[in-house]
Structure 1
Amino acid sequence: MRAPIGEFDAVRPAAEALDLLVTPVADAVRGWGGDVPAEQLIHVDTDPQWADTATFVEHYGQDILEQSANCVVVAGKRGGESTLAACLVLSSTRVDVNGVVRRQLGSRKASFAPMDTATGETGMEYGGITPIGLPAHWQLLVDAAVVDLPYVLIGSGSRRGKLIVPGKAFAGLPNAVVLEGLGVA
């Protein structure tokens, strides 16, 4: 099997790579019910040392950057209460935490969640957090530019491996909200 983007040695449908996925991601793939068929979710096995975007692009090619997205966990605070959510933006952009995210969450203040909170709440590894398999009650804020791509390279829940998913699939994930301008240059 050949990946729809990038050049990878080990490529297979994500449903055939459940043993390489962390539990919440494997469960989400196993129970996939989105508009995009599960067979279009692809797993590529990659070396964990190349998991971070900059080193990944350096190792696998600059063209990957325009077709990849990062998922980050944010915390919105209002009146002593904190709300966690995830944001998915193109890797070439950054999340507009103090503008779009803060307004969408109805928070007075928004910031990136601490690493321990992000990994503990998601059951995923830092550097591999993905929008597939997030806690059911979380909002998933997705930049419209991600949804517009034919395929997007994202984390797989661990530092080993990535998922390649049709962009339109993200709009159909639980609690997904597609927003213009979530990712800024």
Structure 2
Amino acid sequence: MNQVLIALLLLISLPGLADDGLRTYPPTPEKRELVLHVLKVGPSALERSYDYEEYIDAAIDWYCKGDATILLPLLNAEVDGCNSEALGMFLGKELQQNPELIIKRLSSFPATTQKHAAILGSAADGAGWPPATSKTMRSNLAKLMKSPDPAIRKTAKLWLSTLVKFEKQQQKMG
């Protein structure tokens, strides 16, 4: 199994071969295993660390196409500025478009992972969300805080408080 991963990593790290096939859905078992491995290990798993963003993007694409199981490895992946922007934009958009689904999925994760997701989703690309978008997010979260499911209520409350804190910080800075 490790030999397969090493061979795939070598192929993908060759110039011109960081293929768009990473985003093919559903992925082959080998590509899925490779992406999960790279998300777990981080950029150091690759010869060219700047290719790491392709793996983050592939995981986001897979989630958007229906692979809910990729969400936890994606949130546990090592992030830097560029990757945190991609994850933040993705999470914020999910909160706008599929609020109940993303909060329900996040509610099953450890509290630290939920908080990490809330911070990324609140910050978006680092500058936060436009006022109208932020208002939609707050409204969605307020509705979810009335859910009969206590885990969903708790996760929505965490995200809402994180979003409000982020917005207050942004107001102080700007």
Tell me the TM-score normalised to structure 1 length.
0.24
Q: Which has the larger Rg?
A: 2
Kindly indicate which of the two structures has a greater share of residues assigned to helix: 2
